[in-house]
Structure 1
Amino acid sequence: MKVNVEHGEEFNVLHYKVGQEYVTHSDYFDDAFNTIHGGQRIATMLMYLSDVEEGGETVFPDAKGNFSSMPWWNELSDCGKKGLSIKPKMGDALLFWSMKPDGTLDPSSSHG
């Protein structure tokens, strides 16, 4: 991925305690102010700094597909079975796009 370093944002480090969650949201801006004054977020990279015993998945509820046939499906929490889910594993990184190749916003990138 070739993205100029000046187009990036600062890192955010979040620590979730048992029972905490980040509700489903999109990382792109859908308002004129942010897009005019700062540009658009085209991609997001999440880095997992620890393993978890249960839960903790990043869930993409609007992703299309039948994921229940995947071999990792039974390892997911009930919440993780609500869409495409990525189970956190220490040292892994997840990169996903918030925009489609034609430059339009991609609602299926909503995650939580």
Structure 2
Amino acid sequence: MDSRYFLGFFLLLLINFSLVPAEVNGSVLKMRGGTSSVQFDPTSVTQLSWHPKAFIYKGFLSSEECDHLIILAKDKLEKSMVADDVSGQSIESEVRTSSGMFLEKALDEVVADIEARTAAWTFHPVENGEALQILHYQHGQKYEQHFGYFYDKVNLERGGHRIATVLMYLSDVESSGKTVFPNSEGKLTQPKDDSWSDCAKTGY
């Protein structure tokens, strides 16, 4: 299989955001949001790098969830864009050659549960997160090395820099398909049920 789908969930730092109440029961953390309760297992998390902060969560998504997200996205993919450094508008660039789309927030029960689970893991409220983005890379496509922060005033005023990124791989490939942080302490290729979180305070 030469293509890879993965979902990037980007969280924004807002000037004012409420703390989400949490309770710990053994090794399982539950986050209460409205009437729902989401839990994750901290023992499934492995630290990959501390500079920058990067962690892997094994089994964050089920195979059924991966397949569901691919089905939602596959007929709606468009060429991926980048933000212009001056205007903040979305423009095409050879730096990024994948295709992708954004899912409406809380589109269905599965999407809402993934959003809540991600918020619980990253300790950021769901409302501080962008919509889930599904990306598709065909053989030879790429997103070149880049910094994950904005230069333009438009995006800075709209929400500010992203302070955390969660990547969830939705399919397996025989080779390549890597996410690399070149200035980090480690590099890794993840199978589809793993999730990588990067606290991008320094732009990684």
TM-score range, shorter chain: 0.5 to 0.7
Taking every aligned residue pair, what percent have the same amino acid on both sides? 42
TM (normalized to structure 1)? 0.66
Match of 2:198 among 81, 96, 100: 96
What secondary structure does 1:59 align onto?
Answer: coil
Structure 2: which 5+ residue stretches go unaligned? 1-121
Deviations 1:54-77 (A, max 9, x none): 1111011122x4xxxxxxxxxxxx
Report the AA paired with residue 15 of structure 1: H
CA RMSD of aligned residues (A): 1.5
| Counterpart contact for 1:50–1:88, Cα < 8 Å | no
Of Structure 1 and Structure 2, the greater strand share is in 2
| Alignment partners' CA distance in 2, 1:94 and 1:55 | 16
Q: CA deviation at 1:93?
A: 0.5
| Alignment partners' CA distance in 1, 2:145 and 2:159 | 23
Report the AA paired with residue 177 of structure 2: G
Report the AA paired with residue 165 of structure 2: T
What secondary structure does 2:154 align onto?
Answer: helix
The structure 1 segments of at least 4 consecutive aligned residues displaced by more than 6 Å after TM superposition are none
TM (normalized to structure 2)? 0.38
Match of 2:138 among 13, 17, 33: 17
Match of 1:57 among 178, 187, 192: 178
Determine the structure 1 residue equivalent to 2:151.
Answer: 30
Give aligned pairs, total: 83
Report the AA paired with residue 89 of structure 1: P
In our comparison, the structure showing a higher alpha carbon Rg is 2
What secondary structure does 1:34 align onto?
Answer: helix
